[in-house]
Amino acid sequence: MTKTLLQVKNVKKHFPTGKRNLLGKHLQVLKAVDDVSFSIQEGEVFGLVGESGCGKSTLGRCITRIVSPTEGQVIFNDEDITQADSKRLKTLRRQVQMVFQNPHSSLNPRMTIKQTFMEILKVHGLAKGREMERMIDLLEKVGLPKDALDRHPHEFSGGQLQRIAIARALLVEPEFIMADEPVSALDVSVQAQILNLLVQLKEELSLTILFVAHDLSVVEHISDRVGVMYLGQIVEMADVEELYQNTLHPYTKALMAAIPIPNPKAKREELILEGDLPSPINLPIGCRFASRCRDCMAVCTQENPTLKEVKPGHYVACHLYS
Ligand SMILES: Nc1ncnc2c1ncn2[C@@H]1O[C@H](COP(=O)(O)OP(=O)(O)OP(=O)(O)O)[C@@H](O)[C@H]1O
Ligand SMILES: [Mg+2]
């Protein structure tokens, strides 16, 4: 039996925004994450997909406790970390590591890679001898030569820097990694290399990863399960094969249709998503996808569907299936 490493229970992150009233209180609320629940098993990669602005990074920040959720709970290793104090957050910073879209954000431009890595080991009390072996071994794991340690970030290409950022995350032997669009800023050919590296590391080190992307094709090969987000909510969630073979939600279908097909002669149903994501400030009372959904029914503009398990392990929030 695998163990549940992370449980997200009814998490909301609302940002007060807009004009202020006489008491200085904001008059509007931006619901970036609005009642999200799911869990991640040890050794599992959970892909989180959705358009820009749907709340993926905010959800990731709530889970890793960079920010506090407005409501709900985050359970890590059977411990509620929603209200963790600063002492607990410090140890959590080692257990949970992040890889971002821009690798520069986690590397100091004035330090060599070795200096950055040593500093991290010291901060976490892990500089106890054999650091050089550990750093060289990690660089080898991510496909870089050991002399990379003596160089500065500007001496590397984007793909190489992302390899270093991955090594940096692995340095402290984390239990959980949040990768927020780690390949989005890279050239397509380099994207595939970094994805392959992550797949290989996942197998080798049984990593547990929350992998955020805005494109379904990116998460397909690395994820065990995938959650699709739309305007702050998960609208479909299933094992990766099930989701790709038996897509249910009209929004997921539109995202599927947007995946480029290698063979230009191959036919696929034309399903274009029109318009941008509506504002998370003025949310409709009905289904949040209704304004862009070609299957919209009367009930869809009246009631927001809840996420229901329609097949073992396959969840969807859509009136077509209720
Ligand atoms: N600190 C903040 N204060 C106010 N609004 C915020 C804040 N952080 C995020 N938002 C808003 O929350 C919504 C979700 O943002 P978020 O960055 O989580 O989206 P995302 O899915 O990660 O998008 P992208 O794919 O562009 O990275 C957006 O409307 C954004 O403007
Ligand atoms: Mg983001």
- Give the ligand at the shortest distance from the Cα of 48: 1
Q: How far is the CA of 154 from the centre of ligand 2 (A)?
A: 24
The residues facing 98 across adjacent strands are 178
Alpha carbon nearest to ligand 1 atom 16, residue: 55
- The residue among 160, 159, 143 whose CA lies nearest residue 204 is 143
Q: How far is the CA of 56 from the centre of ligand 2 (A)?
A: 6
Per-residue model confidence as pLDDT tens digits over 20-75: 998 888 889 999 999 999 999 999 999 999 999 999 999 999 999 999 999 999 99
Ligand 1 pocket member 54 (CB < 6 A): yes
Q: What are phi and psi of 136, to 5 degrees?
A: -65, -45
Nearest 5°: the CA angle 45, 97, 146 is: 100
* Whole-angstrom distance, CA of residue 237 vs CA of residue 255: 14
Rounded alpha-carbon distances, angstroms, from residue 145 to 154, 170, 177, 225, 293: 16, 17, 24, 33, 50
pLDDT tier for residue 2 given thresholds of 50, 70 and 90: confident
Global pTM value: 0.94
Ligand 1 pocket member 13 (CB < 6 A): no
Question: In Å, how far from its chain's centre is CA 122?
Answer: 28
Q: How far is the CA of 236 from the centre of ligand 2 (A)?
A: 19
3-class secondary-structure state, position 63: helix
pLDDT tier for residue 266 given thresholds of 50, 70 and 90: low
Alpha carbon nearest to ligand 1 atom 9, residue: 58
Ligand 1 pocket member 15 (CB < 6 A): yes
Residue 191's CB is within 10 A of a number of other CB atoms, namely: 19
Using the predicted structure, report yes or no on whether residue 274 has a pLDDT greater than 80: no
SS3 content of the chain, % helix, strand, coil (to 5): 35, 25, 40
Ligand 1 pocket member 57 (CB < 6 A): yes
Contact 39, 4 (CB under 8 A): yes
Q: How far is the CA of 102 from the centre of ligand 2 (A)?
A: 11
Ligand 1 pocket member 60 (CB < 6 A): no
Residue 225's CB is within 10 A of a number of other CB atoms, namely: 21
Question: In Å, how far from its chain's centre is CA 293?
Answer: 25
Return the structure tokens found at 70.
């407005």
- Give the ligand at the shortest distance from the Cα of 54: 1
Alpha carbon nearest to ligand 1 atom 7, residue: 15
DSSP 171-203: TT--SEEEEESTTTTS-HHHHHHHHHHHHHHHH
Q: How far is the CA of 140 from the centre of ligand 1 (A)?
A: 35
Ligand 1 pocket member 32 (CB < 6 A): yes
Per-residue model confidence as pLDDT tens digits over 202-257: 999 999 999 999 989 999 989 999 999 999 999 999 999 999 999 999 999 999 98
